[in-house]
Every structure is written in structure tokens, then in C-alpha cells.
Amino acid sequence: MDWQDISFLQKKWIRITALILANLMTLGSIVLSITGIVFTFIDPINFKFWFAKIMAVCGILDFTDGKLARIGGSRKLAVDVDTIVDSVSFGIFPAIYLGYSVAQWELEIWNIVLGVLTGLIYLAAVWYRLFRFIKRDPLHTPYFTGLPSPFAGMVVACLVVFPYTHPWVMMVSTIIISGFMISKIPFPSFKGVPTLFDWFWIATTAISVFLFAIFPFAPTNLMVYPAYVIGALMLIYLTISPGYAMKLEKKLDITKKYEKEK
């Protein structure tokens, strides 16, 4: 079932409102990302927490604007424009932060080289993942090929917030995450009208990311608690959800076959 199958959402004022909100959210995501890039180089005190918060808010905006764009019936906004924004919000911004944070470790030439490599590996994986999405994934496919870049961005955000995360851990984790992004492992996209299971997963993740974004980090780092929950959800997503994605694909194939026979 798709959003176009719900007659109530086909009213003109609803579609226009959805498109306006989707545009505003997309604009908000790119503004936050560019602001984050600027502050990465300024490197204010405790910016790592603000970096994580920006990634969380961009993740919420990305998920919401895609749904609203589809309700509004805009393919360009839902796929093309959203992909361009994702390349900045979940590609350039976290890549610059990763590279800068690793390079700042001891400010030696090898750390600078490692920082540049870390950022480049992550950025290359995100861009390849988005390029493959545009070229291969249909608009309404029930699954993504490779880990979605917003999920990868949230993994990075959680690692940043976790206490005593060593730069080497960040580097190794970046390589692993990048591998998942360029892999051909199927992951649920939650693009269509959500099922009951989808609603449970979306609600749990959304609440955790929202709390992650609003919880304070001083004087006590409360952000770490929803970060642990998000980390657990991401682990489940990486290990269990590919099987769920394949079931969705089989169900879609059966439906198409049935409609063809009719």
C-alpha cells in the first residue's frame, strides 16, 4: 500500500501543505549542515555534542521530508533533491568532522593523513551509496541496497557521544560503517504506508533520536542514555532487518504476479 492509495491524502490542500513542509525541512537540514561545517573548524568547547545533536535533527528532518514529499506527489523532491541534501548532511558534514577530529588527536603529520583518509573513506561510501540509490533503486522499492547514509550518520553521532571513544575506534568504526553502506545487503526503507511492525520500529527510533537531540550534555551527559538505545536499535537493524527486507520483497513480487494474472 502506498500513500497515493489513501484517498484522504489526495486532497489538494493536504498535498500542497505537505510539499511546503517538505521543502522547509529540506532547507532546514542543509542550513544545519553548513552551520555545522563552519563550527567544526571553529571547534568551540563541547562541539562534539552539538555535532551529534545536529546529526540527530538532520536525521529526523530527512525521514519526515521524504514522507511529506511522497504524500505531496513530488518525485523530484522525494528522490533527487533529497539525495543532494543527504550528500551534504550525511556525507560532507560528518566526513569533515571525522577527519578533523582524528587529525586533532595529536596534530602530527600521520594523524593528519589518517584524518583525511577517514573522512575520504566515509564520504566516498556515502556518495557511492547515494549514486547507486539514484541509478538502481526504484522509487517505491521496499528496501534499500546498502545501509542508508542517515543511519550511518547516527552511528557516528552515537560514537561521538559515548564516553572515552578513542580516535582509533572512530577510524575502525568508520571503515565498518562504510562497508555496510557500499554493500548489497538489503535494509527496509519504510517508504510506503507503515505496517504495525513498521510503526513500532519508527516510533521507537524516532523517540530515541528525539531524546538524543534534546537531552542536555552538561553538567551530566544525559545524551548518552538514548545513544545506547539508538546503538542497540542500529545493531538490530544491521543484523535482523535484512531478513525482514527480503520478506517484503517476496511479498511485493507475489502481489505483482497476482495483479498481472488478473
DSSP conformational letter for 146: S
Q: How far is CA 257 from CA 55, 141, 234, 262, in A?
A: 41, 16, 33, 9
The pLDDT assigned to 68 comes to: 78
Q: Which CATH superfamily is domain 3-261 in?
A: CDP-alcohol phosphotransferase transmembrane (TM) domain (1.20.120.1760)
144: nearest Cα among 90, 192, 187: 187
pLDDT tens, position by position, for the chain (262 residues)? Answer: 555 556 556 677 677 888 888 888 989 999 999 999 999 999 898 899 999 999 999 999 988 887 777 777 666 655 677 888 899 999 999 999 999 888 877 767 888 889 999 999 999 999 999 888 877 655 556 678 889 999 999 999 999 999 888 888 889 999 999 999 999 888 887 766 667 777 888 889 999 999 999 999 988 899 999 999 999 999 888 888 888 777 766 766 555 555 555 5
The pLDDT assigned to 101 comes to: 86
- For the CA atoms of the chain, what is the radius of gyration? 19
Query: How many whole angstroms separate alpha carbon 47 and alpha carbon 37?
Result: 11
The pLDDT assigned to 95 comes to: 95
Question: Taking a C-beta distance cutoff of 8 angstroms, is the pair 158, 177 a contact?
Answer: no
Which helix (H) or strand (E) element contains residue 159?
helix 149-161
Q: Calculate the CA 167 to chain-centre distance.
A: 22
The domain ranges of the chain are 3-261
